[in-house]
Amino acid sequence: MSNLTSMPTLLLLQFSDIRVLQIFHFFIFLALYLMAVIGNLLIIIAIVFDHHLHTPMYFFLFNLATIDLGTISVIVPKLMAMSLKGDRSISHYGCAAQVFFYLFFASLDLVVLTVMAHDRYIAICNPLHYERIMHKEACLQMVAIGWATSLLYATLHTGGTFAITFCSNMISQFFCEIPQLLKLSCSRIYLVEVGLLIVSCGMTVGCFIFITVTYVQVFTTVLRIPSVHRQKKALSTCLPHLTVVSMLVFCGLFAYAKPPTGTSSKLDLAFAVVYTILPPMLNPFVYSMRNKEIKTALWKLLDFAISSKSILKIVL
């Protein structure tokens, strides 16, 4: 096979070659993208402007919403452009940027979700020590460490992936996914990146085990609470988080830990959509629907917007 590393573009996989279906896919992804952006922006605005939500739990939720905006913005705009124009090419630099930023946001997402599990454990299992442990400086330090670690993680993976020699420019996925890029390798150096992926899967599983053990302890403590109202309140902040973590980890592990195959199946595409697009879109709804504080803050924002509009009409 000839060395195609020097080619200016790589070719991504389209969902369909039929023009009508391409336009249809464009509107579907546009709707999903707008839902994700609007939902996460509402969460961010609600937390910023409601002083009752200036607590560690909502500080981490604010970071999660910001990360979700970044995650979906790395993948979906290119996917929409590809469907609208019918052009599935992407430059090597564009592909490297997509890999870097997606890995950065995805790893940071997992870090924040892990920290949120720790926060809920301290709040429910050790409430008397909560303010001493989860103070402002500690929260900022945990998030800062997460950003630094994710930056290093994304840099190592991107460097390891694009150090290999590509013998084909046909990527069997709708975005630049590392397992699919490794299939294009015709040099042994790809084994370095395979080693990094194995370590990454181990770290992901470790975070998931930590979160699972943490919530087992949380649920055990919740069941001992005599008040049914307090039980429901505690569970309302834990179950959405556990749902989001499970969906993200299991779908991600399917893509990165399953045995490699020569071609991409429809199941690969479906799971890629699930773990790249659905979590950023569903997170705002999962957290807001079961969280009274978030719903109250959003209603206050709506009332304020309606009042401002009425006052503006009167003035004009």
Residue 2's pLDDT band (cuts 50, 70, 90): very low
Are 88 and 50 in contact, with CB atoms under 8 Å apart?
no
Q: pLDDT tens-digit profile of 245-264?
A: 777 777 666 666 655 555 55
Number of domains in the chain: 1
| Residue 225: per-residue pLDDT | 72
pLDDT class of 161 with cuts at 50, 70, 90? confident
Cβ distance 172 to 13 under 8 Å? Answer: yes
Domain assignment of residue 276, yes or no: yes
| pTM given for the model | 0.84
Structure tokens given for 311: 């006052």
Residue 131, domain CATH: 1.20.1070.10
> Is the pLDDT assigned to residue 273 strictly greater than 60?
yes
In this structure, what is the dihedral angle of CA atoms 91, 94, 95, 100, given to the nearest 10 degrees? 160
CB contact at 8 A, 46 and 294: yes
pLDDT category at 226 given cuts 50, 70, 90 is: confident
The answer as to whether 1 is a domain residue is no
> Is 4 domain-assigned?
no
Concatenating the DSSP letter of every residue in 130-156 gives HHHHS-HHHHHHHHHHHHHHHHHHHHH
Whole domain around residue 27: which residue ranges? 9-315
Q: Report d(CA 102, CA 78) in Å as an integer.
A: 13
